[in-house]
Amino acid sequence: MAVMQLSIPAYHKEIESLCDLTGKAAVDARFTERTIYACQLAIGEACENIINHGYKQEGIGEIELTAESSPGNLILVLRDSAPPFNPAIEPSLPHWQEEDPPVGGLGLIIIHRVMDKVKYQRIKDQNILELRKTEYQDSLPRIKRKLHS
Amino acid sequence: MEITTKEYRRVAVVSVSGRIDTLTSTQFEETINELIEKGHFNLVMDLSEVDFLSSSGLRILVTSRKKVREKGGDVVMANPSQRASDSVEIAGLDKLFMSYPNREEAVGSF
């Protein structure tokens, strides 16, 4: 299992570096290109939420990302010191009309649609958001079979 | 993010490259609003060079679509990159935007 960690000051311009780290970890997890991008998108949305709804402004506090990857599995843990903010509550998606589509809550929708598990904890004045993604690829068992044949 | 516009008689094309996220979405929104204020209600979004499209950018697309449809227009996409398409689809907004394989067909749809 590979572990990578990065802390950023809570500015929007810094979010891209956490997306990059997520991309590297997702590559290590041997995810497909589309899943790698989806995970980067989800972590970007989670960080935007921390700044906009947790800290409520830029430049206050930090965001720390720990990424653990193994073949087929990725665990992303975000820690911040903002007031309690729980994005793990899955947004309800009422049926919407084409003329009145949703404009709010899209970030949460993306996080929950991309990740398999979204878990929130508040420990010692920290928000801890754990995002898990699993992607089984046909190629992995084949590679293992080749190695063992 | 780089953004360029091309105005035709009946249609305006907005071409974007790079990231559309919370940092750049204001510029994206202002560009579209300027076109709408000029009376362009048929908009083609050329997102072929977009490599990141966050919810901030999606919100602009949705609100712009609402504005122009109130005036009888629409927003369509021209050859969106795989990543732009994935963002739209993950957010569940893919049914809102007609997508054409190239800019010419998108312009010609109006």
Q: Do B58 and A113 touch (CB under 8 A)?
A: no
Q: Do A106 and B19 touch (CB under 8 A)?
A: no
Instruction: Pull the structure tokens for residue A32.
Output: 């497909």
Q: Which domain holds residue B61?
A: 2-108
CB proximity list for A31: less than 8 A, separation 6 or greater: A39, A74, A133, A135, A137
| Structural domains in chain B (count) | 1
Q: Do B54 and A113 touch (CB under 8 A)?
A: no
Of the candidates A109, A47, A15, the residue with the CA atom closest to the CA atom of residue B94: A109
**Using one digit for the tens of pLDDT, what is the confidence trace for B43-90?**
999 999 999 999 999 999 999 999 999 999 999 999 999 999 999 999
Confidence of residue A138 (pLDDT cuts 50, 70, 90): low
Whole-angstrom distance, CA of residue B102 vs CA of residue B110: 14
This complex has an ipTM of 0.94
Q: Is the pLDDT of residue A147 over 50?
A: no
**Using one digit for the tens of pLDDT, what is the confidence trace for A117-129?**
999 999 999 999 9
B94 vs A147, residue with greater confidence? B94
Q: Do A101 and B52 touch (CB under 8 A)?
A: no
Contact A111, A40 (CB under 8 A): no
* Residue A94 pLDDT: 61
Q: Quick one: average pLDDT of B28-38?
A: 98
CATH number at residue B84: 3.30.750.24
3-state secondary structure of A50: helix
Which residue in chain A is spatially nearest to B68 when comparing CA positions? A99
Q: Quick one: average pLDDT of A71-90?
A: 94
Confidence of residue A92 (pLDDT cuts 50, 70, 90): confident
**Ramachandran angles phi, psi of B94, nearest 5°:** -65, -25
Choose the closest CB to A110 out of B55, B66, B95: B55
Domains and CATH numbers, chain A: 2-88+103-148 (3.30.565.10)
Residues of chain B neighbouring A106 (CB-CB closer than 8 A): 55, 58-59, 91
Of the candidates A22, A127, A10, the residue with the CA atom closest to the CA atom of residue A66: A22
pTM for this entry: 0.91
How many inter-chain contacts (A to B, CB under 8 Å) are there? 67
Confidence of residue B33 (pLDDT cuts 50, 70, 90): very high
Q: Quick one: average pLDDT of B21-43?
A: 97
Q: Is B59 an interface residue toward A (CB < 8 Å)? A: yes
Percent of chain B with pLDDT over 90: 98
